[in-house]
Structure 1
C-alpha cells in the first residue's frame, strides 16, 4: 500500500457502527413486510412498465438465527458523481456477504455501469477493501455515468453475470442510477421467469447523492450529504471571517444542488450567511430573474445604509432552472435539441447555434433566451449529460447575478437611491466536497447501507433500495430494511418523451428546516451573525464529532 497521511492511517482504525439488528444478527435477518406499495405518481403507467416488481412491500429487518448457507457471487458498481462514504458502502457489502458465507465473492466493476456492460472488473479482496475503509472518493473501482436503458445493454449485463456466476448486482447511485437499477431488476425478473434453468439475478440499490434530493419517508438522507455540507460550511465560514475582516467584498457562492436547494439550505443554517436563495421558493412565488436580482440588490443597499459594504450570498447551482421563464426555456431547449440534434451539432460556431435556437423557440421563451448575456446563452446550449439534463454546474449563475445586481445598483446610484460600494468575488463549491473523508455519521451510515444491501441479497430480494432509518438518533436506535424502487417512481420528460424516473425530493417549504431559515434570514441579512463551523471533526466529544446535519435533526429529531 502507498504511503498514507497520519489522519488516513488513524481513520483506517475506525470501526463503523451498525443498526442493532445487523450488529447482532449480521445478514441473517427476517423480513417483516409492510402493506403493498404504489408509486408516488402515475401509478397505472409505472405499473405497466414494471409489472413484475411493482407493488412490493416496504421491508423492516427483524432478528433471526444463522442458517446454513451457500457461497454466492455479487457485483457492485459506483454510478454517477462521487459522494463521501462510497468506499464504506462497499466495505459494508463485502463484510456482510462474507459474514453470510466466507466463500462469497464480491466483484467490483470498473468505471460504473459501463464496466458491467463491458466486463471490466476486479475481484475485491480483504486487502483491497481494508486499504479504502473510511476514505473519501470512489477510486477503489471508479465511477461513470453510462445510462443502463436498452435491451442490448441489459443483455450484456446478463452475459457478464453469467460469465462469473454472479447472482446479485448492487448499484450505488442517485435517483437516475437507481432508476437504471429498477429497470434492470424488472428485466432480470422477466428473464428469470422466461428461463427457469438459469440462476435468478437480483438487483438492489443504495441511495447516494450529496445533493440530498434522494429521500422520502423511508430514505431519510442520502449518503454524502452530511460530509459535503460540512465541508462547504467550513469554507463558507472561512469566507465569512475574511469578509468580516476586510469589509470590502461581497462573496457570491454557488453550491452543488442541480434540482434541489438542500445543500444551500443546510449551509445557510450552519453558517448564517447574509443571503441564501432557495430555488423552490423562487418557483413557488413565480419570481422572475429580475425579481431575484432586485431582492439581492435590496439587501445589499440596506446593508450599505448601515455601513456594511460586504456580505455573503449562497446560490444553489440549479437556481436558473427554477425561475419560471428560464425553466420553460430549458424545457423547450431540451425538446428542441433532442429533435434537431444532428442539424444543431453540424453548425460551425456559437453564433450560428444561438441564431438557430432563437429562431425555433416560441415567442415567450425566445424573449427569455435573448434577454440573457451571450455567455449564459452559450452555456445553456452545451452538451446535455447522459440523462438528457442541462449541465447546470457549467452555467455561471453566480456571475450572472453579480452582473445584474451590479447593474441594478448603478441605476439606483444614478437616481440617488444608493450610496454604497459594491465589489464582488465569485466562487463555486462543488468538487471540494464530493470526495472528502466521510464524517463519522457518513462512515457509519454508509457502512450500514452496504451491510443492509448484503442482508437484502441474503434474503433473496430484488428491486429494493437499502434503507437505514431513525438516523437522527444514535446508531444504537437505528433500524434497517428495504424500500421498493418502484415506490419512488413517476414519469418525467426526458429526451423529448415521458420516461419512468425516481422522483427527486425538493426542499419542503412547509418543513422545519426552511422555517428555521425563514424565521432568521431578515436578521442575518441586516447584521453579521456569522457562525464558523470549522473543519469536520473525527475525534473528540460526541456532540462535536458525531453530530448530524441540522436538516436531519429538524426533520427527524
Structure 2
C-alpha cells in the first residue's frame, strides 16, 4: 500500500483533529502518502481530495471540530454514488481509507469495503454510542462541557431555590446525561435506556422539599423528552416551577481534553497499522485502556449498552 485517505463524517466531535493528525503523520512516518477527503462522503463523490503533508496537520491537535469538515450526503447511499467515490479515490491512487465518525459513517465504510475498497473506522461521536469501544472520540470533552454548565446552573438554582432542568444531547443513548448527571450531583437523570416513572421523579423531588431541600437539578437526554416537556409535566402534576436550559450544540465544540487528544492519536496510529497489514472492514476501539479492533459489521449489529449500575448508583446518591 502506497497511498491512503482519511475523512471525517457525520456530527463533528472534539478529538477528530487529533485523529486526522495521527493518521497523516503515522502514515508518512511509515512511507505512505496521505490524502484528505474534505466534506466527508459528499467530498468523496465531488472529488474534493487533497494530498496532506506533515505541516498541513500542525497546530490542530488542540482544536475542536474537524479540519476536513463534514457534510450529509444522501447520494452516497446509492450504489452509483459509492462507485463514483471509489473512482475518485482510485484516480488519486488511494488504496485504503480511514473513516472517522459514528454509526452512519461506519455504514459507509462497510459499503466501500464490500465493493473491494478497504476502510478502517474510528469512532468519533460525543454520544459514546458505538459498541466495541469503552469510549468514543469527543465524549470526554462533551462531558466536561456539560459538567461545567451543571456546576454554574447549580449556583443559580441554589441562589433562587428553584428546580432547574438541563437538556443534553443523546437521542438514542443516555451516556452524556448519565455521566454528567452523576458527576454533577443531579437529583434526577432521565435517559432513553431506563424509562423512569414520572411519579417516581415527583416523589423524589417532594421528598427533598420535605426535608428542607430548596433546589434540584434534573438532567434529561433529548431522546427521553425535551426540557420544556418535562417542565410542563412537573407544573401540571405537582405545581413545581422550573427553569429550563437546553445546552444544544455547545456540547460538540471546544478544545478537546487530554483524554480525547490521546485517544485520537492512538486510534489514528492503529488505523494506519491495520491498513499497512492489508486489512479492511475493521473498527478501532479501546477496551480497558488497550487499543483493539473488530469486524466493523459485527459492531453495527450490536446494540449500544449503557452502564445501568451507574444509573442505579445515581438514584441511590440522590436521596
- Per the shorter chain, which TM-score range? over 0.9
Query: Are 1:278 and 2:75 counterparts?
Result: no
How many Å separate the matches in 2 of 1:514 and 1:308?
22
Spell out, residue by residue over 1:402-459, the C-alpha distance to the aligned partner (whole angstroms, 9 max, x if none): 112101124xxxxxxxxxxx43211122311212211111110111101111111111
| SS class of match (2:194) | helix
Which among 274, 286, 305 is matched to residue 506 of structure 1? 305
Shift of residue 309 of structure 1?
A: 4.0
Is residue 92 from structure 1 mapped to residue 8 from structure 2 by the alignment?
Answer: no
Q: Which residue of 2 aligns with 1:304?
A: 209
Instruction: Specify the alignment match of 2:123 in structure 1.
Output: 207
Q: Secondary structure at the match of 2:166?
A: strand
Residues 435, 123 of structure 1: alpha-carbon distance in 2 compared, 3 angstrom cutoff: farther
Structure 1 SS opposite 2:273: helix
Match of 1:433 in 2: 251
Give the alignment partner of residue 142 of structure 1, picking from 69, 80, 85: 69
Specify every segment of 5 or more residues in structure 1 that has no aligned partner in the other structure, as ranges: 1-69, 189-200, 321-396, 411-421, 472-478, 491-502, 524-557
Q: Does 1:516 align with 2:305?
A: no
| Deviation (angstroms), 1:275 | 1.1
Deviation at 1:153, TM superposition (A): 1.2
> 1:73-132: CA deviations, max 9, x gaps?
21111111111100000011011111111xx32221121110001101232222220031
- Three-state SS of the structure 2 residue aligned to 1:137 is coil
In structure 1, C-alpha distance between the alignment counterparts of 2:210 and 2:291, rounded to whole Å: 54
Query: Alignment partner of 1:483: what SS?
Result: strand
Structure 2 CA distance, aligned partners of 1:424 and 1:468?
40
2:279 — aligned with what?
461
CA distance in 2, matches of 1:302, 1:266: 24
* Partner residue in 2 for 1:223: 137
Contact 1:76–1:107 under 8 Å retained in 2: yes
Which of 5, 14, 35 is 1:107 aligned to?
A: 35
1:259 to 172, 196, 201: 172
Equivalent pair of 1:274/1:313 in contact (CA under 8 Å): yes
Of the candidates 123, 128, 131, which is equivalent to residue 59 of structure 2? 131
Contact 1:215/1:222 (8 A) holds in 2: no
2:138 maps to 1:233: no
The TM-score, its normalising length taken from structure 1, stands at 0.55
Contact 1:261 1:506 in 2 (8 A): no
Per-residue CA deviation, residues 492-537 of structure 1 (Å, 9 max, x unaligned), is xxxxxxxxxxx4413243xx4234224323x2xxxxxxxxxxxxxx
Q: 1:120 to 1:88 in 2, by over 3 A?
A: same
Whether the aligned pair in 1 keeps the contact of 2:28 and 2:34 (CA below 8 Å) is no
1:244 aligns with 2:172: no
**Any conservation in 2 of the 1:259–1:504 contact (CA below 8 Å)?**
no
Cα distance in 1, alignment partners of residues 292 and 221 from structure 2 = 32
Unaligned segments of structure 2, at least 5 residues: none
In the TM superposition, what whole-angstrom CA distance separates every residue of 1:185-204 from its partner, at most 9, and x where no partner exists? Answer: 1112xxxxxxxxxxxx3211
Distance 1:431 1:448 in 2: 26
* SS of structure 1 residue aligned to 2:59: helix
8 A contact 2:191–2:223 mirrored in 1: no
| Contact 1:175–1:504, Cα closer than 8 Å, also in 2 | no
How many residues matched? 318
Structure-2 separation of matches of 1:298 and 1:153: 54
Aligned-partner Cα distance in 2 for 1:489–1:278: 22
Query: Is contact 1:262–1:506 with CA below 8 Å preserved after alignment?
Result: no
Instruction: Report what 1:319 is aligned to.
Output: 224
Structure with the greater alpha carbon radius of gyration: 1
Instruction: Check the 8 A contact 2:131/2:305 in 1, yes or no.
Output: no
Deviation at 1:486, TM superposition (A): 1.5
